[in-house]
Amino acid sequence: MKNYIQQIIDLFSRNDYSANTQKKVRQWLADEEHAEEKNEALGMLWNRAGEEKAPRNMQQSVQRMQRNIGMREAVTPGRNYQLRIWQAVAVLLLAVSTVSVYLILEHDNEPKDLIEYYTPTAEVRELTLPDGTRVMLNSKTTLLYPEQFNGKTRSVYLIGEANFQVQPDKEHPFIVKANDFQITALGTEFNVNAYPENDELIATLLEGSVKVEFNNLATHVILKPNEQLAYNKHTQKHSLELPQVDYVTAWQRGELVFSNMHLEDIFTSLERKFPYTFVYSLHSLKDNTYSFRFRQQASLEEVMKIVSQVVGDFSYVIKGNKCYINNNK
């Protein structure tokens, strides 16, 4: 959840959205759910802003906004702010967006108001973008895109996993942005896995040709059909593979495929597939990797029965909307 919140706030802070969009985001940030995560994410942006040269009169603007929302205590860059500072999101967004205005993506006159399309847990949805590009979105995925593609490029912003069948337009490249990852295509089909909780960002080309950029867009690789690039966000290293494409697209058919994955990552994937929260202790999980493939629309009970039999060292109990994992040792 923390990385997801960080990406949403970071994306919002780097763009000048409409008043209506700003209002909705501020309402979301002001909600008490995940307060500590929001506080930490906003703090990172605040510190980043403090590293840049503050625009003239920024402090006065912050203080004026502060009075407007009823805050008593001043907030200044570099100062330790209190736990409830996330409630003063208007102040932070004002300061960060002011010093980060040069970061507006590509300066290509893109529409600044984006439509947000979210796919809930346990669902897969299809969407047709304004240019005719078809998108299939995996569960717990957010796609942001403009009402119309009017700029030099057709840029969308992805948090999660999606498959894109791009409408050809050589004059306006189609670009998918996901964290420190960018895929550019003219007319092609590819899959992007960019869930914020995963260490790796993965692009798989199914048809055509795409350019994948990473490391703050300083490095790029041209993919050929059936090639997959995996980029580790932490080590900033990448690898090229020839995966089994049937596995990559399994989620679109309602199948579950896990290839050489740790139990923790399997449970995280299952939380996206099913409306259940997994409860367990990390030290109780084996560090081994496992591979599974389940038929279309397999139930959580069916999946967990097989996984527990293969792993052997844990039992599970599904109760309410939670799945409890217990170490048998």
Q: What is the pLDDT of residue 43?
A: 64
More confident residue, 64 or 196: 196
pLDDT at 127 over 60: yes
pLDDT at 112 over 50: yes
Q: What is the pLDDT of residue 297?
A: 82
Tens digit of pLDDT for each residue in 167-196?
Answer: 999 899 999 998 778 999 977 999 999 998
Cβ atoms of residues 123 and 139 within 8 Å = yes
Q: pLDDT band at 123, cuts 50/70/90?
A: very high
Give Cβ neighbours of residue 223 (< 8 Å, ≥ 6 apart): 190, 203, 205, 209, 210, 211, 212, 229
Least confident among 38-52, 224-238, 298-312:
38-52
Cα end-to-end distance, the chain, whole Å? 30
Q: What is the pLDDT of residue 116?
A: 84
Q: What is the pLDDT of residue 105?
A: 36
Domains of the chain: 2-101 (no CATH), 107-246 (2.60.120.1440), 254-327 (3.55.50.30)
What value does the mean pLDDT of the chain take? 76
pLDDT at 76 over 50: no
pLDDT at 220 over 90: yes
pLDDT at 18 over 50: yes
What does each C-alpha distance from 49 to 28, 44, 57, 69, 215 come to in angstroms? 22, 9, 15, 21, 21
Q: What is the pLDDT of residue 202?
A: 95
As a whole number, mean pLDDT of residues 87-98 equals 39
Tens digit of pLDDT for each residue in 224-257?
Answer: 999 999 999 888 899 999 999 999 999 999 899 9
Tens digit of pLDDT for each residue in 248-304?
Answer: 999 999 899 999 899 989 999 999 999 999 998 877 777 889 999 998 888 999 999
Q: pLDDT band at 305, cuts 50/70/90?
A: very high
Q: What is the pLDDT of residue 16?
A: 56
Q: What is the pLDDT of residue 89?
A: 43
The three-state (H, E, C) secondary structure of 146-201, written as one string: ECCCCCCCEEEEEEEEEEEECCCCCCCCEEEECCCEEEEECCCEEEEEECCCCCEE
More confident residue, 156 or 47: 156
Q: What is the pLDDT of residue 166?
A: 95
pLDDT at 126 over 80: yes
Q: How many C-beta atoms lie closer than 10 Å to residue 220's C-beta?
A: 13
Q: pLDDT band at 19, cuts 50/70/90?
A: low
What does each C-alpha distance from 243 to 117, 178, 228, 229 come to in angstroms? 29, 21, 7, 10
Helix 89-99 and helix 58-68, axial crossing angle in degrees, nearest 10:
160
pLDDT at 111 over 60: no
What does each C-alpha distance from 78 to 39, 174, 215 come to in angstroms? 15, 39, 27
Nearest to 138 by CA among 265, 266, 249, 241: 249
As a whole number, mean pLDDT of residues 123-145 equals 94
pLDDT at 99 over 60: no
Q: What is the pLDDT of residue 240?
A: 95
Q: What is the pLDDT of residue 86?
A: 36
**Number of residues that this document lists for the chain:** 329
Report how far residue 131's alpha carbon sits from residue 289's, in angstroms, rounded to the nearest whole number.
Answer: 41
